[in-house]
Chain A
Amino acid sequence: MKVTRRKLAGLLTISATLPTMIRAQAPAVDPVVRTDASANAARGEFREAARALDTVKLPRSVEPATRFEA
């Protein structure tokens, strides 16, 4: 494959900006929220809750409850 100087310059530009682009797309990480040990323990509780939800057999056809009428 023939690589022109123009293609090479384009590739180098992308590789230089890629890490920045990835960082920008990553969810905002709030250091206060992330470093709190008790919040991490609470995260464990939510994961435990999620595991309990996994025990329920859920047919694909079931939609979320969004209306609450008799």
Chain B
Amino acid sequence: MAAPTGDVFFATISELSKRLRAKEFSAVELTRAFCDRLESIGAEHHALAHSLRASALKKAKDVDWDLKVDRTRGPLHGIPYGAKDLLAVKKQPTAWGTRIFANQTFDQDAEVIQKLDKAGAILIGKLAMVELAGGVAYSTPAASVTGAAQNPWDRSRWAGGSSSGSGVAVAAGLVTFALGSETSGSIITPSAFCGITGFRPTYGLVSRRGAMALAWTLDKIGPMCRSAEDCGLVLHHIAGPDAEDPGSAHKGFAYAPQFDRKPSDFTIGYNPADFAEVSPDARAAFDAALGVVRSLGVKLKEVKLPNFPYSALIETVIGAEAASIFEDVIRDGRVDQLADAPQAASLKAAIDIPAVDYLKAMRIRSQVREAFSTLLYRDADMLLAPSRVGPAPAIGATLGGGRMSPAARGNGDIIPAGNLAGLPAISLPCGFAGGLPLGISFVGRAFFDNHVIGMGRAFQSQTDWHRRKPGAANA
């Protein structure tokens, strides 16, 4: 068998699965080749938290034996993947992106890791992340024990956060897919900046057992992949009820592309201001993306997000919940070991958020959910907006973080709004600005995750942005 090279590293799950079964290369050869890339390119880009080469090769041997006797466990069998370092992997370091927890280990794999193991996927590494998944707010891309994650399209640019390493690893062909997590924007942002397809599931659809909690009522785990199709395949295996996750919605999920509705069945809500007020170099790409969506035959309809102070809501909810979760770290002073001093300051301040403010935010959140239920049944089936208004910022940039910003015009608050309402979303590569990727997002009704993935598939059937590879990483 020939050693895997070139396009193998950028193949989708289905393509790679087919080639593995055709015995073009063994699972061991494939795993070794991906580990080599992750340990070299991944480390150079500050995307690697911890390599799992030894356990991955052991697992790959088992996969080769299975394949030898024609025993397959589905499309993920033998596929190398990476997991954000906020997910527990038995007896392996799980640092949550900060030196505070550098020596932390757990006795059990996170539920999603267990599920992927059963599906035969091969975990080859823990991926870098912004410390404590960003906490309330962080001020620079360097807010991580592994340093600022470099964007494979231009290493002087940031990869986005907090699932930074997951974004880099998929974009640079270091894994075939990755797991990320989102409290408010942590899957959508790195997916957009790195030019990959990222999916944020409905809140409660995927178990968070064994994952670091940042905000119990907002945290979600989701796939970051090369295509919407791959997101569906991974979600199929990681979703489902979990009696041991208090946030579980106790609902199942089956990826069912055969039941995709036609795009022309859907009304897509959007706000023209969102596409007009992007960064100037990105405007042509976003306009073209909107044109592609229109060409799918959907009914485009102008809508406005319900009027709520989304930034204030998300800041109050994350602040209060994070301060409770990390109270010990804040009170005993370990919080000052965070790489980002403003993040430490936010956590210290968050401990003083009055209970009445937190409860007020959660009561308003009930109204937010109600308003979105109405919007997404009365006015539209899904919402569409740029994932971020422009490409990745410079590595040395000062970030707004999650702090209060002036009310966004158009539907620019769709990230905090969608997260507060627990809605599924997908970010799709949709072009470039100055050589850097851009993304657009579809946001759907709660538990209509298949519709959102289906729209992603439809968009990607007409575009090839998701097939583009960053030059440097491909060398």
Interface set of A (CB-CB < 8 Å, partner B): 28, 30, 32-33, 36, 38-43, 45-46, 48-50, 52-53, 55-56, 58, 62-66, 68-70
Range of interface residues on chain B?
35 or more
Are the C-beta atoms of A32 and B333 separated by less than 8 Å? yes
Q: Does B350 contact A (CB under 8 A)?
A: yes
Nearest chain B residue, comparing its CB with the CB of A50: B357
Q: Which residues of A contact B362 (CB under 8 A)?
A: 64-66
Are the C-beta atoms of B348 and A56 separated by less than 8 Å? no
Q: Which residues of A contact B333 (CB under 8 A)?
A: 32
Q: Which residues of A contact B350 (CB under 8 A)?
A: 42, 46
- Min C-beta distance of B459 to chain A, whole Å: 24
Nearest chain A residue, comparing its CB with the CB of B250: A69
**Chain B CB within 10 A, most for which of A46, A50, A70:** A46
- A30 vs B447: C-alpha distance in the bound complex, in angstroms? 44
Q: Which residues of A contact B359 (CB under 8 A)?
A: 64
Q: Does B364 contact A (CB under 8 A)?
A: yes
Q: Which residues of A contact B315 (CB under 8 A)?
A: 45-46, 49
Q: B336: which of A32, A40, A58, A63 is its contact (CB, 8 Å)? A: A32
Are the C-beta atoms of A42 and B342 separated by less than 8 Å? yes
Are the C-beta atoms of B316 and A46 separated by less than 8 Å? yes
- Min C-beta distance of B61 to chain A, whole Å: 42
- A36 vs B349: C-alpha distance in the bound complex, in angstroms? 9
Are the C-beta atoms of A70 and B445 separated by less than 8 Å? yes
A-B contact pairs, 12 of them (CB 8 A): A30-B330, A32-B333, A33-B331, A36-B345, A41-B345, A43-B349, A45-B403, A53-B312, A58-B367, A62-B367, A65-B366, A68-B249
- Min C-beta distance of A70 to chain B, whole Å: 4
Shortest 8 CB-CB contacts between residues of A and residues of B: A42-B349, A64-B362, A52-B312, A38-B345, A49-B312, A39-B348, A52-B309, A70-B446
Q: Which residues of A contact B364 (CB under 8 A)?
A: 53, 56, 58, 62
- Min C-beta distance of A36 to chain B, whole Å: 6
Are the C-beta atoms of B336 and A56 separated by less than 8 Å? no
Are the C-beta atoms of B331 and A56 separated by less than 8 Å? no
Q: B345: which of A39, A53, A64 is its contact (CB, 8 Å)? A: A39
Q: A64: which of B136, B309, B313, B366 is its contact (CB, 8 Å)? A: B366
Nearest chain A residue, comparing its CB with the CB of B320: A46
B224-257: CB near A (< 8 Å → 1, else 0) gives 0000000000000000000000010101000000
- A45 vs B348: C-alpha distance in the bound complex, in angstroms? 12
Q: Does B433 contact A (CB under 8 A)?
A: no
Q: Does B352 contact A (CB under 8 A)?
A: yes
Are the C-beta atoms of B349 and A39 separated by less than 8 Å? yes
B7-31: CB near A (< 8 Å → 1, else 0) gives 0000000000000000000000000
- A19 vs B350: C-alpha distance in the bound complex, in angstroms? 29
- Min C-beta distance of B321 to chain A, whole Å: 12
Q: B311: which of A39, A49, A66 is its contact (CB, 8 Å)? A: A49
Q: Which residues of B contact A41 (CB under 8 A)?
A: 345
Q: Does B341 contact A (CB under 8 A)?
A: yes
Are the C-beta atoms of B342 and A68 separated by less than 8 Å? no
Q: A58: which of B349, B360, B403 is its contact (CB, 8 Å)? A: B360
Q: Does B404 contact A (CB under 8 A)?
A: yes
- Min C-beta distance of A11 to chain B, whole Å: 36
Q: Which residues of A contact B202 (CB under 8 A)?
A: 70
Q: Does B325 contact A (CB under 8 A)?
A: no
- A32 vs B359: C-alpha distance in the bound complex, in angstroms? 27
Apart from the given pairs A68-B249, A68-B446, 14 other A-B contacts in the complex at a CB distance below 8 Å: A42-B349, A45-B349, A46-B316, A46-B352, A49-B309, A49-B315, A49-B404, A53-B364, A65-B365, A66-B217, A68-B217, A68-B422, A69-B446, A70-B445
Q: A56: which of B309, B342, B354 is its contact (CB, 8 Å)? A: B309
- Min C-beta distance of B475 to chain A, whole Å: 42
B324-337: CB near A (< 8 Å → 1, else 0) gives 00000011010010
Nearest chain B residue, comparing its CB with the CB of A55: B309
Q: Does B116 contact A (CB under 8 A)?
A: no
- Quick one: which of B414-440 are within 8 Å of A by CB? 422
**Known contacts being A45-B349, A55-B309, is A38 close to B363, with CB within 8 Å?**
no
Q: Does B203 contact A (CB under 8 A)?
A: yes
**Known contacts being A33-B348, A39-B345, A53-B309, is A46 close to B363, with CB within 8 Å?**
no
Q: Which residues of A contact B251 (CB under 8 A)?
A: 69
Are the C-beta atoms of B404 and A48 separated by less than 8 Å? yes
Q: B349: which of A32, A40, A65, A66 is its contact (CB, 8 Å)? A: A40
